[in-house]
């Protein structure tokens, strides 16, 4: 599952390129003609937050992997979910969407879902959630560093003065060294222990974060 917005950057050779992340890879395209220039592998996981350039030669990707496969939801004796078994109640839209996505993307793509198809679909996303810096210079590409603590699922990280900031569920703010991935500080946003979907922004030298319920926290950037 990929929801991440691509970004456009100037590569080390001075050429413009569009960077997109998808399950298992980060890819660079020529925006003029769509030509695929290069790609680097990423671990399995869904990509929701957008890629961020950490410096001229590295891009950050938030890989939200599943640590366990969701249980198969079928209740029929034959073990197959058909169109008539898919919920029509608008309140169950997430279940409906998931079942139709699995049935349309796996094996024979007939819309039905078997236990084997369910397992094959979700196995593509199993692993350890991580934020990863991928070197994308003309001379060297590949993993530079990764960090697996407090990984955000939705909010895109931000880089300011060589520090990466990201916020995860519960209002946990993490600051990492953008060059090495070494953690500077992890702390809770007191008074706003909430879910965070909006990405943090920097303005007037301050880091601002808005929670799901509308609480806004303003933080002084820095390693501490």
Residues 3 and 108 in one domain: no
Give domain status of residue 221, yes or no.
Answer: yes
The CATH number of the domain holding residue 224 is 2.40.10.480
- Tell me what pLDDT residue 68 has: 77
Q: What is the pTM of this model?
A: 0.80
Whether residue 193 is predicted with pLDDT greater than 70 in this model: the reply is: yes
Mean pLDDT score of the chain: 87
Q: Which domain, by its residues, includes 219?
A: 152-224
Give domain status of residue 71, yes or no.
Answer: no
Question: pLDDT-derived band of residue 77, with 50, 70 and 90 as boundaries?
Answer: low
Residues 133 and 183 in one domain: no
Q: Encode pLDDT of 116-159 as tens digits.
A: 888 888 887 788 889 999 888 767 788 899 999 988 888 999 99
Give domain status of residue 1, yes or no.
Answer: yes
Question: pLDDT-derived band of residue 44, with 50, 70 and 90 as boundaries?
Answer: confident
Q: Encode pLDDT of 156-192 as tens digits.
A: 999 999 999 999 989 999 999 999 999 999 999 988 9
- Tell me what pLDDT residue 29 has: 92
Give domain status of residue 164, yes or no.
Answer: yes
Give domain status of residue 78, yes or no.
Answer: no
Number of structural domains (the chain) is: 3
Residues 44 and 8 in one domain: yes
SS3 per-residue string spanning the chain: CECCCCEEEECCCCCEEEEEEECCEEEEECCCCCCEEEEEECCCCEECCCCEEEECCEEEEEEECECCCCCCCCCCCCCCECHHHCCCCHHHHHHHHHHHHHHHHCCCCCCCECHHHHHHHHHCCECCCEEEEEEECCCCEEEEEEECCCCCCCCCCEEECCEEEEEECCCEEEEEECCCCCEEEEEECCCCCCCCCCCCEEECCEEEEECCCCCEEEECCCCC
Residues 94 and 201 in one domain: no
- Tell me what pLDDT residue 215 has: 94
């Amino acid at each position: 599952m990929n929801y991440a917005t691509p970004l456009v950057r100037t590569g080390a050779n001075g050429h413009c390129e569009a960077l997109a992340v998808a399950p298992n890879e980060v890819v660079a395209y020529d925006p003029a003609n769509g030509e695929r220039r290069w790609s680097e592998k990423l671990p399995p996981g869904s990509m929701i937050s957008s890629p961020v350039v950490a410096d001229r030669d590295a891009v950050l990707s938030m890989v939200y992997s599943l640590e366990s496969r969701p249980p198969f939801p079928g209740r029929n004796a034959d073990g197959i979910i058909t169109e008539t078994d898919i919920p029509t109640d608008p309140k169950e839209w997430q279940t409906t969407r998931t079942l139709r996505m699995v049935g349309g993307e796996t094996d024979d793509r007939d819309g039905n879902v078997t236990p084997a198809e369910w397992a094959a679909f979700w196995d593509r996303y199993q692993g350890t959630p991580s934020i990863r810096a991928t070197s994308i210079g003309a001379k060297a590409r590949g993993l530079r560093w990764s960090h697996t603590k407090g990984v955000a699922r939705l909010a895109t990280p931000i880089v300011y003065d060589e520090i990466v900031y990201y916020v995860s569920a519960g209002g946990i703010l993490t600051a990492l060294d953008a060059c090495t991935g070494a953690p500077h500080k992890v702390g809770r946003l007191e008074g706003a222990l909430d879910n965070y979907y909006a990405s943090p922004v920097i303005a007037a030298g301050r880091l601002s974060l808005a929670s799901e319920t509308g609480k806004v926290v303003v933080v002084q950037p820095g390693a501490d």
